[in-house]
Structure 1
């Protein structure tokens, strides 16, 4: 397993723990389909939350959240639509959140949770 893959897994665990601590429930990790992947699918009361997790060691080329391009957003939306269709979910409110993680100190990370980060157009 590469160093970047390991960091990605750790970032997703950290993000999941953060969301669980804020009252969300985990539905699924790493949902994959031909359109792409969704890092975390969570539930917040009656809403389904599709979460993109981004980790950056530094902000030299933009922040973790800034790295979620329009193209990536479209892939996440298509993947979410596939998930909803496969699970036969019709009338459940949904939203797309993003979590950006950057190291703050050797043992800590800075977590930014952007609720409703993007929407269907």
Structure 2
């Protein structure tokens, strides 16, 4: 499993990606690929769909058939270009915050293990 590490202090949070992670938007039939995510927000590939800045949606994070996080509220804050939309989370409850923190931490742990394995070989 390839895990991308990006640390950008200007964004204020560790951003990472998880291959296969998708965003399911409430009321829309298809899923959207999550480019990267952090405890503060995410970027997703909108494809040919049109989204407007300031739109808000209820979403779920899914990996394959498994729902990792459900009922998150996101707000689109910018059109990054090339079909990517930048979002922030809106009014997460304590459970959602804890699950998001845990997901980011798990990806960080896997990234560290992969680095150690590469260094040992």
TM-score for the superposition, normalised by structure 2: 0.32
**Larger strand proportion, structure 1 or 2?**
2
